[in-house]
Amino acid sequence: MKVVNSLKTIKARHKNCRMIRRKGRVYVINKTNPRFKARQG
């Protein structure tokens, strides 16, 4: 899990990346390739 400033660049790395808001934090998760996980906030 990476903590990044810009999730838009992380989302563009793989086609299955999804952005999700949980508890005031924004996450990028990817079920097919979990190494693309990232969080902001």
- The pLDDT confidence band at residue 9, using thresholds 50, 70 and 90, is confident
Give the per-residue pLDDT at 21: 94
Stretch 7-18: mean pLDDT: 87
19/39 Cα distance (integer angstroms): 9
pLDDT for 6 beyond 90: no
Stretch 14-27: mean pLDDT: 92
Stretch 20-40: mean pLDDT: 92
- Give the E-state strand segments of 1-41 in sequence order: 2-3, 18-22, 25-29, 38-40
Q: Which residue matches tokens 């990232």? A: 38
Please give the C-alpha separations between residue 33 and each of 18, 23, 30, in angstroms, as whole numbers.
12, 24, 6
Stretch 10-30: mean pLDDT: 91
